[in-house]
Amino acid sequence: MTSVYDSNGNNIAVTVIEAGPNVVTQVKSSDTDGYNALQLGFSEAKEKNVSKAMKGHFAKANTTPKRKLVEFRDFNATPKVLGDEIIITDIFNEGDKVSAVGISKGKGFQGVVKRHGFGGVGQSTHGQHNRLRAPGSIGASSFPSKVVKGMRMAGRTGGDRKKVKNLLIVKIFAEQNLLLVKGAVPGHKGSVVIIEK
Amino acid sequence: MDAIKFVQEQMVTTKPLPSFRPGDTINVNYKIIEGDKFRIQSYKGDVIQISGEGLGKTFTVRKISNGVGVERIFPMVSPNIDTIEVIKRGRVRRAKLFYLRGLVGKKARIKELKTAKA
């Protein structure tokens, strides 16, 4: 992430995303597959990390092996054929609102305050000793005599697939395939996100 | 990483600001936007630090206002900076002059840098 200035002199926090060029590696149609979709490949893969079966798949599209393949349903840009390259300006314009899908950063085993936004106890006096961030009661006693399913408790946090909606495209560098999106997107630096319009 | 560097290089609209260093006394004319109009407010003080790089580069200006120390941080590439005037060059031995915060009165002054005259 970095920050840029808009025309009014406001400082905007942006995420720089390298979006493309993406290659069409498979075209699915309702006749053959039951639904319409395009499979796009992004980022070069090492030859030694690609299985023989996948090599054949890429050879069919007449392209080099790709690291990430993602399928987009009902992709309604102009009809694309196998091996076509899709670049940013085919789909996105400056000022568009997009969604970003990615795997959020793993946070490990976390308590309820961080994981579910519980308030904690809120005071350190009145008999509170070492339970400032405790969850409090998790249910009643004789009825229902159990902890109801789905009770929010401590546990593994992060590392889930998350979607962030309504991100504004601040700027596009078409030649460098760069998108500048307002705000943060899920995941580590260098991780792969899916940008949907 | 180099993608971010590229964006920063593209987005810096280089405005001819005079070069100044920590210890200098400067006057910053800053645009204050009120609705659709703007006016220029000047802020004069000593530069006590310059930090960051690229789009995130900032400088801190300290002054004593009505007996109270005031520090203001300006982004170096902000389009709201109208002009900067360097009033005095200071002779200092540090890049960050935080020690000035603990000093008052005559001790809080910065010696002027004497350059050899031809």
Say what the pTM is: 0.79
Q: Is the pLDDT of residue A38 over 90?
A: no
Q: Is the pLDDT of residue B118 over 60?
A: no
Which CATH code, of 2.30.30.790, 3.40.50.300, 3.90.79.10, 3.30.230.20, is assigned to B23-101?
2.30.30.790
**Domain range annotation of chain A:** 2-106+161-196, 110-157
Which tens digits make up the pLDDT trace of A93-149? 898 999 999 999 999 999 999 999 998 887 778 877 888 888 888 989 899 999 999
Percent of chain B with pLDDT over 70: 95
DSSP string, A110-169: E-HHHHH-------S-TT--S-TT-----S-STTT-SPPTT---SEEES-SEEEEEEEEE
Provide, as residue numbers in chain B, all residues whose Cβ is less than 8 Å from the Cβ of A13.
none
Tell me whether A18 touches chain B (CB under 8 Å): yes
Tell me the pLDDT of chain B averaged across its residues: 87
If you average pLDDT over residues A160-183, what whole number do you get?
Answer: 91
Distance CA B99, CA B48 (A): 9
Q: In chain B, which residue's Cα lies nearest the Cα of A176?
A: B3
Would you state the pLDDT for residue A183? 93
Tell me whether A12 touches chain B (CB under 8 Å): no
Would you state the pLDDT for residue B116? 66
Cβ count within 10 A of residue A158: 16
Q: How confident is the model at residue B2 (pLDDT cuts 50, 70, 90)?
A: confident
Q: Which of B11, B32, B53, B78 to mutate to test the interface with A (most CBs of A within 10 A)?
A: B11
Distance CA A108, CA B100 (A): 43
Residue numbers of B between 10 and 49 with CB closer than 8 Å to A: 10-11, 31, 33
Which CATH code, of 3.30.160.810, 3.40.1030.10, 3.30.70.260, 1.10.3720.10, is assigned to A2-106+161-196?
3.30.160.810
Would you state the pLDDT for residue A7? 79
